[in-house]
Structure 1
């Protein structure tokens, strides 16, 4: 969308995606259009050189390694926006990049999936919440002009936690069943289970001093109405036999719960089940 609005955009990714984008542009398929958007694409991290803004979109498990790879090519003052799941990626990236390269967390509310090389399927929503920096207002205005609703918030940590709780409620369940959100909440016992997950997350968030919206529970339960056909990112990772971000979702709640002495048995159960599901079968001992 930024490229369509006239911004110079370069994508950095894996070979198959890069080749597809170079040949025909990035394919963006939504409920209302199916288009190819021409833009630059590279497999080399050095392509980040000269960027004013970097949209840092790697999995939470790759935050430190990806930050270390791009660091030599970032000019001082380059704004790095972490568009990732989890709540501490900005702090982890900043620890690697150093004080000369500002890092701001971004909360991403969008349902998408990669349908093939260079092919993005969009299922719903698309708004961003950015932490304040000297450049955040300018960036938010540019995003908004490109059709991306963007808000600058002084409580982005609370927004990150709100999304974390949504992810904790749905990601593991969608992954373990390989079913979308709409189907999940139609099954008996699922909504009370989601309430148990929320209760644990809220208790940990309170212990961590996080300022959360009053009607967060309603927001969590309302998600399937806006994204009924969405498979969670964790489900997509499991289906592709890729490592998941579960350690940075339910696992993070378990970790912070232990630090505060807050029990999190439901989140821990989901954590262990997804970890088992992603364990390579070759690791299973023979009998």
Structure 2
């Protein structure tokens, strides 16, 4: 299959690389430094492999014109721009999958891609770019899709990527809660989840963040199981060495996705009349660190 990846960052490169290893024709669109490095191949490094995988790479969305499947893996703040770059480029029958944080990216992509099938995907993976054209995998890698996107399940599973089919909206909210709980704290301290879990007060802070998110989600028609907090807290054990994507963005002095994580909860809470003071504080602190990074 001809597969395109819009956004050759950590998520895009991991899934693009795994699909290329399975024999598919994969083209990644990204920044020039990564594109130049990937002309020699994409280095995919996991606990069990370290390979240079042949892929195609480009800086222009026009390179994805002949693709059967397009994975959008840009940052949430770049969704509209990416969709506009793809508009008019894709085959009408091409399926577009949003592999992004947040809960509304597929809707924003679809608004710019009328007539195109756009489906949200829930991504559970810990990965980072270790250098130009070099993606390093730290844990998990499974996906969740809606029944309307079930035809991609064999494609991913043949590449060693487990996929569940279910209620994607609830799953996106569930992942959002986990991101809201850990991402900002990891970014503010520049420390991984395992380190954070040992700090006095952090478990209660996690509980407060989760409680606010659950209240907003409930007002929005999404209910979570009682064990949601335990599931969020368990990331400190399953991914103890992982620094959040927000922390990685701050370290590289790049804009974060905070407005689409805790910021989304704050805005949705305001719309629904649900107070979110802890999430609002985290947004303010991360924004302050973003500004500090631009002044350094």
Q: Taking structure 2 as the reference length, what is the TM-score of the superposition? A: 0.92
Deviation at 1:280, TM superposition (A): 4.8
Deviation at 1:32, TM superposition (A): 2.1
1:166-195 Cα offsets, whole Å, 9 max, x none, are 000000000000000010001111011000
The aligned residue for residue 84 of structure 1 is 100
Q: 1:28 aligns with which of 33, 44, 47?
A: 44
Deviation at 1:77, TM superposition (A): 2.2
Deviation at 1:142, TM superposition (A): 1.0
- Mapped partners of 2:23, 2:159: distance in 1: 9
Q: 1:213 aligns with which of 222, 225, 229?
A: 225
Query: Is 2:253–2:294's contact at 8 Å kept on the other side of the alignment?
Result: no
- Mapped partners of 2:276, 2:223: distance in 1: 20
The aligned residue for residue 154 of structure 2 is 141
Deviation at 1:214, TM superposition (A): 3.9
1:121-147 Cα offsets, whole Å, 9 max, x none, are 1100000001232xx222111101110
Alignment of 1:122-271 (within 5 A): 122-133=137-148, 136-153=149-166, 155-271=167-283
Task: Give ranges in structure 1 of 5+ residues lacking alignment.
Answer: none
Alignment of 1:26-105 (within 5 A): 26-98=42-114, 100-105=115-120
- Compare 107-116 and 137-146 and name the one that shifted more: 137-146
SS of 1:183 mapped into structure 2? helix
1:141-167 Cα offsets, whole Å, 9 max, x none, are 1101110001121x1000000000000
SS of 2:268 mapped into structure 1? helix
Root-mean-square deviation (CA, aligned residues, Å) is 1.3
- Mapped partners of 2:237, 2:159: distance in 1: 26
The aligned residue for residue 19 of structure 2 is 2
- Mapped partners of 1:65, 1:163: distance in 2: 24
SS of 1:144 mapped into structure 2? helix
Alignment size in residue pairs? 279
- Mapped partners of 2:63, 2:181: distance in 1: 37
- Mapped partners of 2:294, 2:38: distance in 1: 35
The aligned residue for residue 125 of structure 2 is 110
Q: Taking structure 1 as the reference length, what is the TM-score of the superposition? A: 0.95
Residues 11 and 202 (structure 1), Cα distance of their counterparts in 2 relative to 1, 3 Å cut: same
SS of 2:234 mapped into structure 1? helix
